[in-house]
Amino acid sequence: MATPNQTTFNSTQVAEVFNSYPELISEKLFELRQLIFETALALDIDEIEETLKWGEPSYLTKSGSTVRIAWRKSKPHEYAIFFNCKTSLIETFKEIYFDTFTFEGNRAILFNEADDIPVNALKHCIELSLRYHKIKHLPMLGA
């Protein structure tokens, strides 16, 4: 388990995945990783499990839904943050942030390597995911 303010990897497998990405993409994904940990810390979430799911860095908490981050060779200038497609997370994000993010179906927010990340909006999305099991019954997840 990783503590929310962690700046190093506990998992050598996750570190290897980050190291396999192009340098700029790896830096961008590390920024997303830090946003996940910062958001968890602000929510007083003690532990986040950092692991690989489908070969991609994934972040799990007891109170929330898994968040994954990844890059694909098929779209070399894009990277993404993924949310569970069987939840109402992306549907809610689309309602709130329709003009802020680029979405992929009901599972991801996409970024171009040249994009500036709207940090506060993305932290809000991450927060809703990390708290999902506690708020899934609320309209618009309580947002």
| String of DSSP letters for 60-105 | E-SSS--EEEEE-TTSTTEEEEEE-TTSSHHHHHHHHHTTT-EEET
pLDDT in tens, 82-113: 999 999 999 999 999 999 999 999 999 999 99
Q: Assign domain 12-142 to a CATH class.
A: alpha beta
Name 11's Cβ contacts closer than 8 Å, sequence gap at least 6.
50, 51, 52
Instruction: Specify the DSSP element, H or E, that contains 1.
Output: none
Position 102 scores a pLDDT of 96
What pTM was estimated for this model as a whole?
0.92
Cβ atoms within 10 Å of 130's Cβ, excluding its own:
25
Listed by start position, the domains of the chain span: 12-142
CA distance 99 to 87: 21
